[in-house]
Amino acid sequence: MTDSHDDFRTIWLSPDDDGVVRIIDQRKLPHVYAEHDLHRWSEGVEAIADMYVRGAPLIGATAAWSLYLAARHGAYPRQEVEMAAESLLESRPTAVNLRWAVERVLAVAGSVDDASLAPRLRDEAEAICNEDVEISLGIGRSGLELIRAIAAEKEGPVNVLTHCNAGALATINWGTATAPVYLAHAEGIDVHVWVDETRPRNQGSQLTAWELGQRGVPHTLIVDNAGGHLMQHGRVDIVITGTDRTTRTGDVANKIGTYLKALAAHDNGVPFYVALPSTTIDWQCRDGLAGIPIEERDPREVSQIYGELDGGTVVVNTTAPGTPISNYAFDVTPARLVTGLITERGVCSASEEGLLGLFPERAAA
Ligand code: MRU
């Protein structure tokens, strides 16, 4: 990530073997940067479910590449693609990019003959990744205007608070919530990021802090409960988070704890923005609380903490054996608490009118 941010990718086809898709094993960051090879679609399902890869856009891209791998394997590649699609759709329920990517690739599969199946699915997976980079840059340009406006009004750094990792690691490059920050930093704006730790999996401390550090962006790690305190003391100028699914009406599902940040921002008059690629909008869903499935994950994510000690990996238990645990991975922030949505086509209000203003082709859906 240090050499050229432009060339960074979170998933790519091996240049030496077109039967191998490479990913970064994000479970090992920030202590070890390790790449991991996917040879079969089932390994793609495992990579999504076990969070080698995570973040809505990257989950979708991994699904697309997994379908390509399915098309290369077995005597009956079409059946293999269908089986893979079914299994991928069950791997993580909240991010709608998964369904979007699977449906897009299946549509291509349905329109080509057997001989072209694998090459066409490969092209489609590449296209999804390339488009995602352009979309992230579009979000970056839209959000940059907001940061510029704050910088013009104040002395000292623009303090951005973010939750989880909606960074380059969650997309193909640049991220969603981080893209405006990266562009602001590149043009010399004094920008500083408060990074929520993001329990239980610590995507903030392990991923966001790492990637901001790699790109030289000033940042400070805070525990999840510190955000409200910082806002009360005027130390947050803007909150920017990502989202796994945005309803047609502007409700947003994102990493657990996002809703509490939105409440604190609302109480303190801090603008709360959500950055999203249009691939994250569920145009069929009007009510986030009723309509967005919230993933519940393994209780061990709560009862255990993973880390590094003296060069080795350690996992420690933090609870008494048998403690009952719930592990909700996402929550829904209602549109009324969202100041605006930052998309690749510009910034809009968190509402159906706002979204349709930017995406009028969806009016009929
Ligand atoms: O459980 P994760 O790590 O997949 O959750 C990721 C998030 O909540 C991100 O904010 C979201 O996917 C947006 S990524 C651009």
Please list the ranges in the chain whose pLDDT falls under 50. Answer: 1-3
Q: Is 244 in the pocket of ligand 1 (CB under 6 A)?
A: yes
Same domain, 149 and 190: yes
- DSSP secondary structure code for residue 208 in this structure: I
Q: Would you say residue 179 lies in a domain? A: yes
pLDDT for 1 equals 43
pLDDT for 73 equals 86
pLDDT for 365 equals 67
Same domain, 124 and 149: no
Same domain, 126 and 242: no
* Threshold 0.85, pTM exceeds: yes
Same domain, 271 and 200: yes
Instruction: Give the closest residue to 54 by CA, choosing from 274, 237, 203, 204.
Output: 203
Same domain, 273 and 343: yes
- Per the CB < 8 A criterion, the answer to whether 229 and 262 are in contact is no
How would you classify residue 200: left for phi > 0, otherwise alpha for psi between -120 and 50, otherwise beta?
Answer: alpha
* Domain enclosing residue 272, as ranges: 145-362
Same domain, 126 and 151: no
- Per the CB < 8 A criterion, the answer to whether 113 and 313 are in contact is no
Q: How far is CA 4 from CA 1, 169, 174, 215, 278, in A?
A: 6, 15, 12, 10, 26
Count how many domains the chain has: 2
CATH code for position 194:
3.40.50.10470
Q: Cα dihedral sign for 350, 352, 354, 359?
A: positive
Of the residues 196, 224, 237, 244, only one is catalytic, namely 244
pLDDT for 347 equals 98
Q: Residue 3 C-alpha to ligand 1 middle, in angstroms?
A: 25
Same domain, 213 and 285: yes
Residue where one domain finishes, among candidates 131, 164, 181: 131
Active site residue 298: no
Residue where one domain finishes, among candidates 65, 96, 131: 131
Same domain, 124 and 235: no
**CA torsion angle for 49, 52, 56, 62 (degrees, to 10)?**
-90
Residue where one domain finishes, among candidates 131, 155, 190: 131
Q: Would you say residue 140 lies in a domain? A: no
Q: Would you say residue 126 lies in a domain? A: yes
- DSSP secondary structure code for residue 327 in this structure: -
Residue type, 321: P
pLDDT for 271 equals 98
How is residue 364 written in tokens?
A: 């009929």
Would you call 287 helix, strand, or coil by DSSP?
coil
pLDDT for 75 equals 85
Q: Residue 54 C-alpha to ligand 1 middle, in angstroms?
A: 6
Q: Would you say residue 1 lies in a domain? A: no
pLDDT for 3 equals 44
Q: Would you say residue 64 lies in a domain? A: yes
Q: Which tens digits make up the pLDDT trace of 316-339?
A: 999 999 999 999 999 999 999 999
